[in-house]
Amino acid sequence: MDAADLKVFSAVARTGGIGRAAQELHTVQSNVTARIRRLEEELGVTLFDRHSRGVSLTSAGQRLLPYATQAEQLMTEARRAVEDGPEPHGSLSLGSLETTAAIRLTPILVDYARECPHVDVSLRTGTTQSLISDVLEHRLEGAFVAGPVRHPEITEEPVVTEELVLVTAPTVRLEDLPGQGGALKVLVFRTGCSYRQHLEQFLAARGLKAFRTLEFGTLDGIIGCVSAGMGITLLPRAVVENARRAGSVAVHSLPASRARITTVFIRRREGFTSRALLRFIACARRVHGAQ
């Protein structure tokens, strides 16, 4: 059993078929089949059940998969560690909350691009829950999420503390909300968003448990629909300040116990950390320290 065999095994498990794995690995099906058979013979177990739709893992294959995935990740990190020169280069995959990307990320990226011109940054936005998963599964090297995270495999660093506010159309008053009952609509990101959780907890504390939830994929979509009177939301004050000044929305302060949330930058606690990521963290600290 070697790293190449485990890589083929992982590809077959991930794609669910010999042919699909061969396409992903840029090789022929016979090579994939031969490696899987050799691995099965060496281990003395059947790793896949063959059927008309492709293949599926046996119980032995399911037990092997986490180790194969870890071995593949270690090989990738070893290669990156050897190739990592004194000056940051290559690619850097990051994640961010929509709100952080909208108001906090630009000055960091500008500073970073000036300091590390040979690094190509890719950015993915998502909810706190999805971004944590992406970091843990090595799909992202780091991400800005709502803290605290408190996960044994993650290290987190505070970036900025935001004030959360309830956001409504200009004509809405907080005292009118209980009277809406089940007609009340909340406009939020999908499940896993920390702001959504805070909003639901705030409404529950005020006796508002029956409401309709409308999920959006963009920050602009939420603010625009709140402005149009479709419903209410909860966001950092800095995100909606321009809309408030323009008279498009109204903001309502929350009790002090519910009004603060800290955005943190997370990365995996163990494993290789590239110079590109270390330099990005340094830029984030510098920009945040200047605020």
pLDDT in tens, 82-94: 777 678 888 999 9
Could you read off the pLDDT of 158-199 as tens digits, one per residue? 999 999 999 999 988 877 777 676 688 999 998 889 999 999
The answer to whether the 3-83 and 163-261 domains have the same CATH topology is no
How far apart are the C-alpha atoms of 152 and 158, rounded to whole Å?
17
In the CATH hierarchy, which fold is given to the domain comprising 90-149+266-289? D-Maltodextrin-Binding Protein; domain 2 (3.40.190)
As its CATH architecture, domain 3-83 has Orthogonal Bundle (1.10)
Query: Average pLDDT in the 121-144 region?
Result: 95
Of 14, 53, 52, 11, residue with least CA distance to 33: 11
Which are the contacts of 196, defined by CB distance < 8 A and separation ≥ 6?
A: 186, 188, 189, 234
Compute the CA torsion angle 110, 290, 100, 192 (nearest 10 deg): 130
Q: Tell me the two tokens of residue 91.
A: 């690619």
- Token reading at 33: 């089949």
The answer to whether the beta carbons of residues 45 and 88 sit under 8 Å apart is no
Q: For 67, left (φ over 0), alpha (ψ -120 to 50), or beta? A: alpha
Residue 206 burial class via C-beta count within 10 angstroms: exposed 0-12, middle 13-18, buried 19 and up:
exposed
Average pLDDT over residues 246-253: 95
Q: Is the pLDDT of residue 64 over 80?
A: yes
Q: What are the domain boundaries of the chain?
A: 3-83, 90-149+266-289, 163-261
CB atoms within 10 A of CB 99: 24
How far apart (Å, rounded) are the C-alpha atoms in residues 158 and 285? Answer: 9
Element holding 50 (H helix, E strand): strand 48-51
Per-residue pLDDT tens over the stretch 267-281: 999 888 899 999 999
The answer to which of 9-13, 112-116, 150-154, 203-207 has the lowest mean pLDDT is 203-207
Q: Are 156 and 266 in contact (CB under 8 A)?
A: yes
Q: Quick one: angle between helices 3-15 and 29-43, nearest 10?
A: 110
- The correct CATH number of 163-261 out of 3.40.50.300, 3.40.190.10, 3.40.50.2000, 1.10.10.10 is 3.40.190.10
